[in-house]
């Protein structure tokens, strides 16, 4: 299970190609199974129908917690760092974690949650968030975490799609200097959710909240005197573990489904090898548990390895831009894993914030979420890593469950801005426009994977056809990632970015159609078109072209802009706020009515020179208007 040098990587990679069943069976031996599998893998990418470790029985929390109790009961499992540096941090040993998760699980049972029920979790980064996920897994309920930055409308859609029976939330949350309501947002969201039978509220800030009798329950009250033992429910390898919503090129986010055994094996295997985790290491991943990075590399991956994992409630620049470095020194962190957007913003705050922190404990740095530009990579390497830490640029997706392409820290060749080589078991290919595999190097192609790995998504919740269409129909026999990539002569992959109508804003994914739908909810808007453009801090910014009943002028424009931004915050959440809004009288459309996004993207990038052939446009004159009115 642990790769210790490059030749071992090569041998394992080869073995995973030649004998995938044997390769994964040997890795799976490292876990605790109630019953072992009868067969390692069955798959068909056309349906798609993918099953791993068929017939096996297990509970992932026994692997995350119980099996470490014998020798590591007192070892810190979860280290929680609060938003305010003056508030005391908390450390939960594996034994503490066991009790907390069991208590939480018993509360869920008391509220009527059963195996297979969907539970929606909408919470800030407090320890109870981790307990809640694990408590669901303990009793076989399916967790669906919704990032707490999403609006009531987004939350409502996700609750309905999964038909969640219970919502777990907090009273409120803090983010930097701000305090924000959480329970109120849930109240707002569930007005339209008939599936929800109860809401469970964890107290964070003592906010006054309204409690509906026999509907809203307080965790503090429900957990009083409850047992801290809860037997783990036996799950089938392919039983659903969680749903996690993510955006695609169509309007509605989809619920990516991960199942128990395959996800467990791959989250653990990838964590161990990419980060080269060693027994006394302390791992700090700055993601939110509301994203796949948080699921796999704050919670499941580290705990499955018996590691100590840090969970941070706050933001990188509060009280100032040295907060991460303070946390690293305070907890003697060895592994620091963050997003390029955070690195760029800290870089912009100035190196003076990081220079005084020696951070002797650090060994490995990671990045994830979007391509990292060379400048940010070098800053990270020089100022944070002090030129002695390994950097791993890890590529993966909500759908892949775990890291598929990355260097293994200290083992594989590194190259700034390159994710690197595939992990053993992963068979990436680049396809050309005709769907043929590109064998040459240095040519950009569509990144696809041609063989399943244990944590590949199994379906999109409630709509299997959508899963097939989105991921398995573009190129027959392949899983299509939606990314474009290049491979260099050494076989290292460089991820270029999305080739579909998905934009990546500060490492968060949005469909352009999804944002357009939101913008169109504003009653002044008749039609809109959204494109991404390069943004210094966020990677990509959101540029919206809007048609209103009449072309607004002066003050009216400012007022409309704020109104549209407000609408998007309400429809999706503040994280999807447009950066630039341009009012136009028409959009460049072909005679068949299709918007020529190529033109809109070029103008948003500030380049109106090579717009290509515009003669097929219904009205080529609109292009000039758009160029002249560009918001730069
Ligand atoms: C998309 C997946 C899984 C991490 C959090 C985002 C982009 C992810 C990298 C990387 C370049 C990356 C891709 C991918 N992406 N990691 N190391 N280098 N691009 O998860 O929301 O499912 O988004 O993020 O475009 O398809 P996600």
447 CA to middle of ligand 1, Å? 12
Cβ atoms of 436 and 426 within 8 Å: the answer is: no
* Choice from 397, 426, 540 to test ligand 1 binding pocket (greatest atom count within 8 A of CB): 397
530 CA to middle of ligand 1, Å? 20
* Choice from 337, 370, 498 to test ligand 1 binding pocket (greatest atom count within 8 A of CB): 370
66 CA to middle of ligand 1, Å? 32
Residue closest via CA to ligand 1's atom 1 equals 397
**Of all atoms in ligand 1, which is nearest to the CA of residue 482?**
26
Contacts for 577 with CB less than 8 Å, ≥ 6 apart:
542, 565, 568, 569
147 CA to middle of ligand 1, Å? 17
Cβ atoms of 136 and 119 within 8 Å: the answer is: yes
**CB-side neighbour CA atoms (13 Å) of 204:** 26
502 CA to middle of ligand 1, Å? 11
Closest by alpha carbon to 475, among 428, 526, 435? 435
Instruction: Please spell the DSSP secondary structure of 305-321, one letter per residue.
Output: TT-EEEEE-S-TTSSST
**Of all atoms in ligand 1, which is nearest to the CA of residue 403?**
3
Give the torsion sign (CA, 377, 421, 398, 127): negative
293 CA to middle of ligand 1, Å? 10
Closest by alpha carbon to 483, among 526, 430, 535? 430
pLDDT tens digit string along 372-425? Answer: 999 999 999 999 999 999 999 999 999 999 999 999 999 987 788 899 999 999
Residue closest via CA to ligand 1's atom 23 equals 397
Q: What does the pLDDT read at residue 50?
A: 98
Ligand 1 neighbours, Cβ below 6 Å, are: 246, 291-293, 368-371, 393-398, 419, 481-483, 495, 497-498, 504, 507, 509
Q: What does the pLDDT read at residue 474?
A: 96
371 CA to middle of ligand 1, Å? 8
**Of all atoms in ligand 1, which is nearest to the CA of residue 481?**
26
Q: What does the pLDDT read at residue 331?
A: 98
Beta bridge partner(s), residue 504: 509
Beta strands 235-236 and 57-58 are: antiparallel
* Choice from 290, 369, 503 to test ligand 1 binding pocket (greatest atom count within 8 A of CB): 369
Cβ atoms of 376 and 347 within 8 Å: the answer is: yes
109 CA to middle of ligand 1, Å? 36
339 CA to middle of ligand 1, Å? 10
- The whole-angstrom distance between residue 141's C-alpha and the CA centroid of its chain comes to 21
Residue closest via CA to ligand 1's atom 3 equals 397
**Of all atoms in ligand 1, which is nearest to the CA of residue 399?**
22
396 CA to middle of ligand 1, Å? 5
Instruction: Please spell the DSSP secondary structure of 244-282, one letter per residue.
Output: EEE--SSSS-EEEEEEHHHHHHHHHHHHHHHHT--TT-E
Contacts for 211 with CB less than 8 Å, ≥ 6 apart:
201, 218
Q: What does the pLDDT read at residue 183?
A: 98
Dist CA 601 CA 596 (whole Å): 9
Domains of the chain as residue ranges with CATH? 6-315+394-485 (3.40.50.12780), 506-628 (3.30.300.30)
Helix (H) / strand (E) containing 41: strand 39-44
Residue closest via CA to ligand 1's atom 12 equals 370
**Of all atoms in ligand 1, which is nearest to the CA of residue 502?**
25
**Per the structure block, which two tokens stand in for 172?**
């409120």
Q: What does the pLDDT read at residue 274?
A: 98
357 CA to middle of ligand 1, Å? 29
47 CA to middle of ligand 1, Å? 25
Dist CA 277 CA 298 (whole Å): 13
Q: What does the pLDDT read at residue 592?
A: 84
- Ranges of residues in the chain with a pLDDT under 50 are none
Supply φ then ψ for residue 182, to 5 degrees. -120, -50
In 168-246, which residue ranges form alpha helices assigned H by DSSP? 183-189, 219-222
Q: What does the pLDDT read at residue 54?
A: 98
**Of all atoms in ligand 1, which is nearest to the CA of residue 247?**
21
**Per the structure block, which two tokens stand in for 121?**
């979790």
Q: What does the pLDDT read at residue 614?
A: 83
* Choice from 396, 403, 415, 423 to test ligand 1 binding pocket (greatest atom count within 8 A of CB): 396
Residue closest via CA to ligand 1's atom 2 equals 397
């Amino acid at each position: 299970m642990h790769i210790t040098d490059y030749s071992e990587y090569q041998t394992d990679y080869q073995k995973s190609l030649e004998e995938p069943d044997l390769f994964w069976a040997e890795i799976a031996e490292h876990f605790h199974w109630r019953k072992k599998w009868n067969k390692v893998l069955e798959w068909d990418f056309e349906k798609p129908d993918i099953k791993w470790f068929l017939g096996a029985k297990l509970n992932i929390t026994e692997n995350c917690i119980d099996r470490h109790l014998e020798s590591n009961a007192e070892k810190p499992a979860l280290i929680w760092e609060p938003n305010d540096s003056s508030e005391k941090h908390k450390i939960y040993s594996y034994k503490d974690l066991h009790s907390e998760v069991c208590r939480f699980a018993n509360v869920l049972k008391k509220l009527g949650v059963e195996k297979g029920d969907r539970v929606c979790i909408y919470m800030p980064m407090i320890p109870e968030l981790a307990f809640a996920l694990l408590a669901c897994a303990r009793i076989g309920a399916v967790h669906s975490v919704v990032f707490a930055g999403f609006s009531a409308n987004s939350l409502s859609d996700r609750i309905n799609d999964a038909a969640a029976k219970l919502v777990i939330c907090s009273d409120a949350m803090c983010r930097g200097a701000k305090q924000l309501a959480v329970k109120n947002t849930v109240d707002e969201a569930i007005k339209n959710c008939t599936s929800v039978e109860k809401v469970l509220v964890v107290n964070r800030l003592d906010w006054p909240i309204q409690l509906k009798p026999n509907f809203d329950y307080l965790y503090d009250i429900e957990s009083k005197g409850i047992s801290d033992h809860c037997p783990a429910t036996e799950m089938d390898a392919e039983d659903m573990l969680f749903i996690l919503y993510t955006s695609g090129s169509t309007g509605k986010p989809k619920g990516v489904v991960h199942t128990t055994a395959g996800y467990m094996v791959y989250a653990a295997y990838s964590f161990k090898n990419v980060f080269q985790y060693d027994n006394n290491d302390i791992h700090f991943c700055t993601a939110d548990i509301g994203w796949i990075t948080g699921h796999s590399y704050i919670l499941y991956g580290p705990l499955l390895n018996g590691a100590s994992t840090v969970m941070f409630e706050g933001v990188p620049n509060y009280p100032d831009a040295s907060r991460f470095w303070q946390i690293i020194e305070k907890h003697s962190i060895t592994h620091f894993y963050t997003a390029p957007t955070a690195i760029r913003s800290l870089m912009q705050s100035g190196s003076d914030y990081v220079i005084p922190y020696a951070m002797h404990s650090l060994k490995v740095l990671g990045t994830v979420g979007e391509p990292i530009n060379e400048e940010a990579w070098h800053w990270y390497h020089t100022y944070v890593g002090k030129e002695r830490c390994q950097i791993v640029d890890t590529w993966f997706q909500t759908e892949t469950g775990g890291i598929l392409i990355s260097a293994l820290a200290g083992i594989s060749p590194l190259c700034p801005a390159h994710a690197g080589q595939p992990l053993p078991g992963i068979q990436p290919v680049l396809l050309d426009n005709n769907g043929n595999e590109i064998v040459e190097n240095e040519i950009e192609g569509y990144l696809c994977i041609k063989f399943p790995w244990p944590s590949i998504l199994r379906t999109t919740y409630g709509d299997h056809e959508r899963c097939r269409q989105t991921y398995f129909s573009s190129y027959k026999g392949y899983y299509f990632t939606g990314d474009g990539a290049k491979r260099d002569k050494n076989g290292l992959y460089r991820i270029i970015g999305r080739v579909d109508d998905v934009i990546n804003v500060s490492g968060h994914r949005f469909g352009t159609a999804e944002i357009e739908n939101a913008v169109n909810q504003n009653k002044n808007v008749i039609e809109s078109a959204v494109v991404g453009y390069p943004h210094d801090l966020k990677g990509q910014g959101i540029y919206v072209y809007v048609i209103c009943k009449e072309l607004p002028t002066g003050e009216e424009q400012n007022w409309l802009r704020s109104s549209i931004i407000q609408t998007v915050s309400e429809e999706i959440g503040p994280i999807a706020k447009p950066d630039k809004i341009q009012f136009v009288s028409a959009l460049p459309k072909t005679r068949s009515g299709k918007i020529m996004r190529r033109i809109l993207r070029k103008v948003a990038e500030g380049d109106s020179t090579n717009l290509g052939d515009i003669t097929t446009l219904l009205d080529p004159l609109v292009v000039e208007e758009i160029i002249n009115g560009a918001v730069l």
